[in-house]
Amino acid sequence: MTIDRSHCEALDRDDPLGHFRQEFDLPDGVIYLDGNSLGALPRATAGRLAAVVREEWGRNLIRSWNSAGWIDLPGRVGALIAGIVGAEADEVVAADSTSVNLFKLAAAAVQMRPGRRLILSEPGNFPTDLYILQGLAELLGDRVEVRLVEPEGLEAALTDEVALLLLTHVHYKTGRIHDMARLTAAAHRAGALTLWDLSHSAGALDVRLGEAGADFAVGCGYKYLNGGPGAPAFLYVARRHQDAVRPPLSGWMGHAAPFEFSDRYEPGAGIRRQLCGTPAILGLAALEEGVRIMARADMARVRAKSMRLGGLFLELVAQECPGVFAMHCPAEPEARGSQVSLRHPDGYAIVQALIARGVIGDFRAPDVLRFGFAPLYVSHADVFDAVAHLADIMHSQSWMDAAYQRRGAVT
């Protein structure tokens, strides 16, 4: 059966999440398939930021740490994110960047497993995950070695030498999902801890950290959580570990009593000890607006729609451009995050030609075209129109235009 636009419009009419789109300020003429890199702007964010800047900062000045509850913002936003990733409210805090949070928790995990020297991850994991581990290993000298093992070999590699298994739940390039519960159980059987990078999962999948028995997790605030460029990240520490973690970045905001100004570091109770320096209030306020919307969505519905949108995109590509692209993502929707990846030797120019038509996806070197589907604001008709543009670009060969070959600093 040929898929036509009216079929997609019918799917949109039946979409229980369709009403969320009006909460985002999407420009006319843009089909946004890059919410997995930078989420769209929630309509509420500009007003919130204006109020924080003009009133809370401008008028109330330093009093706002108490009167506007600034000091509680990392925990408040964390508690909302907890509901999105299947954790308890006191197990998540919003702070720092994903990279910094990876460092904090990987270092803590190594301390919690004295005598074990291996940190296990996979080749091709997101670069910052690997770079942070390499930096940590260098800092700790011979104490730690980073070992990269292909996914098929991970369970066999979980020996009694392993302190930590660090994996990204949804792979940034291929969209492949790791089985969090199975790998966490395997790590625990070997006596190791797990740290999950949820950057491409939080807000797109029905993540269940608690059910999976995960020990630690981190994730970005600027992707599906719609917190804005460079938004604070989040981190999760299972309650059972919270008091055992000695924060390696022992800043004053994680102290038990920061305003006693004592000379001696004493970690705060629970998740609060994961804070390091003064919270970035403007970023947290923007993140809170994004997360508030997401927290109202039923994550099972979000996941169902994410699978439907990705599947629809792939079916339409097969229908409109047969044989043109190689698949670079799992074919089964259950094995794939909220993105699809295609390969083509001229992927960069093709993505630029799409962007020139208002269809924003992204390119990942060397040849991957990546399209993300943020279920709260991408419609089935958007997917239909995006593939129609893609097919037209391929059939007309308009991507060959010299303007589409030039590379910017950020790809």
Contacts of 330 (CB under 8 A, 6+ apart): 174, 175, 176, 177, 336
Nearer to ligand PLP, 146 or 393 (CB): 146
Report residue 357 as tokens. Answer: 């038509």
What value, to the nearest 5°, has the Cα angle with vertex 261 and ends 259 and 263? 150
Exactly one of 129, 197, 215, 382 is catalytic; name it.
197
Give the torsion sign (CA, 302, 211, 180, 40): positive
Nearer to ligand PLP, 111 or 128 (CB): 128
Exactly one of 116, 272, 336, 370 is catalytic; name it.
370
CA 20/CA 379 separation, integer angstroms? 11
Nearer to ligand PLP, 62 or 410 (CB): 410
Nearer to ligand PLP, 20 or 222 (CB): 222
DSSP for 136-182, please give it. Answer: HHHHHGGG-EEEE--GGGHHHH--TTEEEEEEESB-TTT-BBP-HHH
Nearer to ligand PLP, 175 or 254 (CB): 175
CA 245/CA 101 separation, integer angstroms? 13
Nearer to ligand PLP, 169 or 255 (CB): 169
Nearest distance, CB of residue 37 and ligand PLP, angstroms: 7
Nearest distance, CB of residue 338 and ligand PLP, angstroms: 13
Q: Is 223 considered catalytic here?
A: yes
CA 211/CA 217 separation, integer angstroms? 13
Report residue 133 as tokens. Answer: 């581990």
What letter would DSSP give residue 41? P
Nearest to residue 174, comparing CAs of 377, 364, 391, 411? 364
Nearest distance, CB of residue 367 and ligand PLP, angstroms: 18
Nearer to ligand PLP, 205 or 387 (CB): 205
- Applying CB under 6 A, the residues found at the interface with ligand PLP are 97-99, 126, 128-129, 168, 172, 197, 199-200, 220, 233
Nearest distance, CB of residue 398 and ligand PLP, angstroms: 29
Exactly one of 24, 32, 126, 236 is catalytic; name it.
126
CA 70/CA 101 separation, integer angstroms? 21
Q: Is 259 considered catalytic here?
A: no
Q: Is 126 considered catalytic here?
A: yes
Nearest distance, CB of residue 345 and ligand PLP, angstroms: 24
Q: Is 370 considered catalytic here?
A: yes
Nearest distance, CB of residue 294 and ligand PLP, angstroms: 18
Mode of pairing for the β-strands spanning 339-343 and 326-327: antiparallel
Nearest to residue 180, comparing CAs of 161, 200, 162, 163? 200
Q: Is 206 considered catalytic here?
A: no
Cα–Cα distances in Å, from 382 out to 319, 348, 379?
A: 16, 21, 5
Cα–Cα distances in Å, from 216 out to 36, 79, 132, 173?
A: 22, 15, 16, 23
Nearest distance, CB of residue 295 and ligand PLP, angstroms: 21
Identify any residues that bridge with 328 across adjacent strands, giving them in sequence order.
none
3-state secondary structure 249-316: CCCHHHECCHHHCCCCCCECCHHHHHCCCCCCHHHHHHHHHHHHHHHCCCHHHHHHHHHHHHHHHHHH
Residues acting as catalytic residues: 126, 197, 222-223, 370
